[in-house]
Amino acid sequence: MLTTEQIINTMSEHGLRITDQRKTLAKLFGEHPGYLTAKDVYEYMGQKYSGLSFDTVYRNLRVMYELGVLEQVVFEEGIKFRGRCSEDHHHHHMICLQCQKTYPIMFCPMQLTDAPEDFQVVQHKFEVFGYCGECGKDQGEKESSPSIGGKRDGRV
């Protein structure tokens, strides 16, 4: 995953101004390995910036996504963001339903999927959901305070 500095540098190189809010965003995504919704981010940022507005968060998430420092994934509950994965080789993810951390799976099923007949493959998705070692322990017990907003609803 990109580090806080890498994120800031990329933004700076592309002519974006490094405001205090953006520094905080970079830090958040540079250090937090899981997926966050716009709301999660808003709530987190809100602790530090009292007058914070939702639209600024959205704007920055979008800018960062377009710049390529953030990834965006569609879950059932909505869109979530995380720092871009710096793995270079193609891979997939196991995603923890509680803490939302992701673990790379280097195995890609496409190699083994006999693209049938005349189907022209353009893209594929392979994602595994479950509970990671950390979160597997306290199965459904007390909310074991994940780094940021982790609800154990199991929806995907």
Q: Distance from first CA to last CA of the chain, Å, rounded?
A: 22
* H or E segment and range at residue 74: strand 70-75
- CA–CA distance, 141 with 36 (Å, rounded to integer): 22
Residue 51 interacts with DNA (CB under 7 A): yes or no: yes
Interface mask toward a second copy for 86-105; x: CB under 8 A? --------x-xx-----x-x
Q: Is 153 in the site for a second copy (CB under 8 A)?
A: no
Q: Is 92 a residue that touches DNA (CB under 7 A)?
A: no
Collect contacts of 11-19 with beta carbons under 8 A, ≥24 apart. Answer: 11/64, 11/67, 11/69, 14/67, 16/63, 16/67
User: Does residue 48 bind DNA (CB under 7 A)?
Assistant: no
91 is in an annotated binding site: no
CA nearest to 96, candidates 135, 125, 148: 135
116 lies in the site for a second copy, by CB under 8 A: yes
Of 51 and 116, which has the nearer Cβ to a second copy?
A: 116
Minimum distance between the CB of residue 121 and DNA, rounded to whole angstroms? Answer: 27
Q: Is 16 in the site for DNA (CB under 7 A)?
A: yes
For the bound state, the minimum distance from the C-beta of residue 129 to a second copy, rounded and expressed in Å, comes to 4
Handedness of CA 33, 139, 150, 143 (dihedral sign): negative
**CB neighbourhood size of 4 (10 A):** 17
Under rule CB under 8 A, residue 141 binds a second copy = no
β-bridge mates for residue 36, sequence order: 81
124 interacts with a second copy by CB under 8 A? yes
Segment interacting with DNA (CB under 7 A) among 59-67, 82-90, 104-112, 122-130: 59-67
Binding-site sequence positions: 90, 96, 99, 124, 132, 135
